[in-house]
Chains A and B, each alone.
Chain A
Amino acid sequence: MTPSKLYLERLEKVKKTIALENDRPTTCYMGTSTPAAHMGVTMAEFANNPDVNLDVSLGYINEINKITPIDCLNTGAGGIKINVGLTMTWLSRIKMPGRELPENSIWQVEEKKVMEVEDYDLVIEKGYDALVQKILPKVIDPAEVQEYMNYVQENGERNAKRVIENGYPSINSLSSAPPFEMLCGARSMTNFFMDCYKMPDKVKAAIEAMLPKAIDILITSTKQANGMGTWIGGWRGASAMVAPKIWDELVWPSMYEMGKACLENGIVPTFHLDQNWDRDIERFKEFPAKSIIINTDGMTDLRNARKVLGDHAAFMGDVPPQLLATGTPEQVKDYVKRLLDDIGPQGVFITAGCDAPANAKFENMVAMFEAANEWR
């Protein structure tokens, strides 16, 4: 398959943006749940059927793209079964629309302890696989995982080609979570945060035991998908969430090692950072200049990040979900314009903060990209 000229031009723009060599802002789609309502399908069908997920997502993205161009996609255009990926990422059960939740509800993480304190020893002695094998059946039917793996095996390449045929480069082909996030999901947040105070050495040893396999999966899977990059997620390990000692010893080291491994393997790490990371944003200088993307959700101060990091890293963000859901197109345009006025276009991907919500207004999604495309 020979990619179209448009695809190649967009791909070049993405690469230039990561290297902070672009002169215009780059528009980037991120809205895992957003297409369903606008395209008239139930959330249950959208979230549970990978083919519907891909068709509907591409239809939605193309509808916006006809009005104002979308240069790239943050994490592809669907073709996924939502709960499988999220469960593997967080080791938590995901309640799904049409199953445990009403058919038009958004999927939700069930916050429940599925890992006991003694399981830290299991991880330390036997590693990542032993933990996952023990925990996974508690949070998802293994048959469902296998069924989805078979689907990806049979259709993954076809789905990736469809996205390329539609003219969109995808920056990230995988979402990965550092061990801190996985343990937090499995222990549940309250228990895990207490563990971080009461038995930090044990938590640290477990994280270190999990890290090599977590990195191996990250690199192998991204390479298998011929991906340009991968997400390294930071949700509960955000600076605003944890004390500096916890962040320094239990969050950052594995995030850093995962990012470093990506770069050593020619993979661009996108640090998907929910919540506020202002306190520690300077630490991203530890990566080589112009090699990483920092993907924030509106709570991290990108103006401050620009001051601190200068032209060291690309930014992806950060139109707040609540603005996309409740604001007007004028308010959305104003937000994007002010952001670009303040931080400039170099190395900037304009997209929804975290993930555009299911109830983002279509006109607001259009306004977000129009504002970027029309900027100066």
Chain B
Amino acid sequence: MGAIAQMLARLEDENLLAEVRKQLDEGVDPLAIFKECQEGMVEVGDKFSSGEYFVSDLMMAGSIFKQVNEMVTPLLGEEKAEKVGKVVMGTVKGDIHDIGKDLVVALLNAANFEVVDLGVDVKPEAFVEALKANPDAKVVGLSCLLTTCYDAMKETVEAIAEAGLRDKVKIMIGGGSLDQSVVDYAGADKFGMDAQAAVTIAKEWM
């Protein structure tokens, strides 16, 4: 693992940003820097999965990655990293919580997914429209912190089915208190206990 990846994995934000600036000044390929950051994020995800890192670490890593991304992306031009796949994400109707959803979006971006982020309090028909506009999206992520919005998740899954799109996408859910019983209730395919799990699930489905 290169220096950039190691610094990201150790959450050394200032050192990392200085190193990125230095390497860019030295003419290092921005795409190589970007890929090394992704490597670092994979290491962060592994540390989270093994219990060495916690949610705050994921958020810190996501923040660092975003800053590097902002430095590097304008320099990439046509030469961009090939996307792993496309995910439509949103917090379901009636629920305005965005922290968990935003963290999943950041980690999916870092894992090189293209994410269509619909925001919070998203109506079922907005998910359907997004899927129609993005026929290459294979995964839908429904975020929901409130138990009272389980029905909104169910309605969203039903709306996707009614639009004839259910067999074209896999649907993952996540948020606060949920387990397999909520997956069954909503008619989704899988749940993730945390933001990193969402990345693992999305990769499985590609």
Please give the residue numbers on chain A whose beta carbons come within 8 Å of chain B beta carbons, in ascending order: 95, 102, 105-106, 108-111, 189-190, 193-194, 196-198, 239-244, 246, 297-299, 320-323, 325-327, 331, 353-354, 357-360
B: residues with CB less than 8 A from A are 11, 13, 53-57, 59-60, 63, 94-99, 102, 146-148, 150-151, 177-179, 181-182, 185
Contact of B97 among A111, A198, A298 (CB under 8 A): A111
Determine the chain A residues whose CB is within 8 A of the CB of B179 once the complex forms: 320, 322
A322 touches B178 (CB 8 A): yes
Residues of A within 8 Å of B13, CB to CB, are 197-198
A105 pairs with B147, CB closer than 8 A: no
B59 A194 Cβ-Cβ under 8 A: yes
Evaluate whether A326 and B150 lie within 8 angstroms (CB atoms) in the complex, with A190-B63, A193-B60, A243-B54 already known: yes
Closest to B186 in A: A326
When the two chains form their complex, are residues A242 and B54 in contact, meaning their CB atoms are under 8 A apart?
A: yes
Contact present for A359 and B148 (CB under 8 Å): yes
Residue of A nearest to B151 (CB): A359
**Which residues of chain B are near A95, meaning CB under 8 Å?**
96
Contact B99 A246 (CB under 8 A): no
Within 8 Å by CB of B177, from A109, A110, A239, A320, lies A320
B181 and A246 form a contact (CB under 8 A): no
Contacts A320-B177, A322-B179, A325-B148 given; 7 further ones with Cβ under 8 A? Answer: A197-B11, A297-B177, A322-B147, A322-B182, A325-B150, A326-B181, A353-B177
Contact yes or no, B102 A321, CB < 8 A: no
Task: Please name the residue on chain B nearest to A356 by beta carbon.
Answer: B147
Given known pairs A106-B148, A357-B148, the reply for A241 and B55 (CB within 8 Å) is: yes
Residues of B with C-beta under 8 A to A322: 147, 150, 177-179, 181-182
List of B residues within 8 angstroms of A110 by Cβ = 96
Instruction: For B63, list chain A residues within 8 Å (CB).
Output: 190, 194
Shortest Cβ distance from residue A61 to the other chain B in the assembled complex, whole angstroms: 20
A358 to B146, CA, bound (A): 9
Closest Cβ of chain A to B191, distance in Å, is 10
Whether B56 lies near A321 (C-beta < 8 A) is no
What would 10 A/B residue contacts be, using CB atoms closer than 8 Å? A108-B97, A193-B60, A240-B54, A241-B54, A243-B53, A321-B147, A322-B150, A322-B178, A353-B177, A359-B147
| Minimal Cβ-Cβ distance residue in B for A189 | B99
Query: Do A190 and B99 touch across chains, with their CB atoms under 8 A apart?
Result: yes
